Each structure stands twice: as structure tokens, then as C-alpha cells.
Amino acid sequence: MSAEKNAQFIEQWKSVARKDWERVKRNLKDKDAVAAGLFLQQCLEKFLKAFLLSHGWKLKKIHRLDALLDEAVRHNSSLEVFYDLCERVSGYYLADRYPPISMELRCEDIEKDLELAKNLIKALFGEDLS
């Protein structure tokens, strides 16, 4: 893949991640913590994959944010501070996708993680999301 096509591919991942970010906020307004949590996980997954792709990573079907962060830390060790966030938010995905897993999600918790997620996204790309 040429450098230009690779840059476009990475930007597509980031674009979809930004849409998921807006979905998080919309679901929080609707007081739907489960949906907000799911879209927060999806948003961070896509931003992490975009970061990894920008460093030559070969795309993999993986949803665990902590595993993606393991890969990202190889390129930027300062990202280690986001492990707790990634482990917690990975659980939000499981809570929605696997019915036997029961999690009591609250909008307040998702809102706190959304603030931490802003810091992760800024560390990955220098991008400020509101």
C-alpha cells in the first residue's frame, strides 16, 4: 500500500472513531449507559488500531483494548498509564455483547471514562475531542 493510501486508510479509521465518540455523547444524553459504554469501547478500539496502523501494524480482528494498548506501548511507552481505562472499557463491550455477563453500568462512570479517553486520544494523535 502506498504511503498516501495508507494515510487515507488510517484517516478512515479515525473518522469512524469520531462518529463513535459522538454516539457515546448522544447515548449519555439519552441516559443509555450500556450503549454509551459500547460505543466508547468501539471508539477507543478504532483510535488504537489507527495508531497501530500508522506504525506499520498489520490489521487484526481483536476487540480487547488492553491487548491493543500492549502493542501501542511498544511505540510509545507513555501510553502505559491508560491500562486501567482500557481494561475497564473493554468490559463495557462484553457487557453488551455477551448476555450472561452482568455489569451495572452508570452514565456517571461512562462520563468519567470519557474524560480519561480524551487524554488517551490526545496522547495517540494530539487530537482534542469535546
List, in order, residues 6 or more apart from 84 with CB less than 8 Å away.
none
Tell me the CATH number of domain 3-125, given options 3.40.50.720, 1.20.120.330, 3.60.15.10, 3.40.50.1100: 1.20.120.330
Would you list the domain boundaries of the chain? 3-125
Distances in Å between the alpha carbon of 117 and those of 65, 71, 91, 101? 12, 17, 15, 23
pLDDT profile of the chain (130 residues), mean per 10: 84 98 98 96 98 94 95 97 97 73 84 98 94
Q: What is the pLDDT of residues 84-93, one digit of tens each?
A: 999 999 999 8
Q: What is the pLDDT of residues 2-29, one digit of tens each?
A: 778 889 999 999 999 999 999 999 999 9
Q: Do the Cβ atoms of 17 and 43 come closer than 8 Å?
A: yes
Global confidence as pTM: 0.93
How many angstroms separate the CA atoms of 51 and 27, rounded?
26
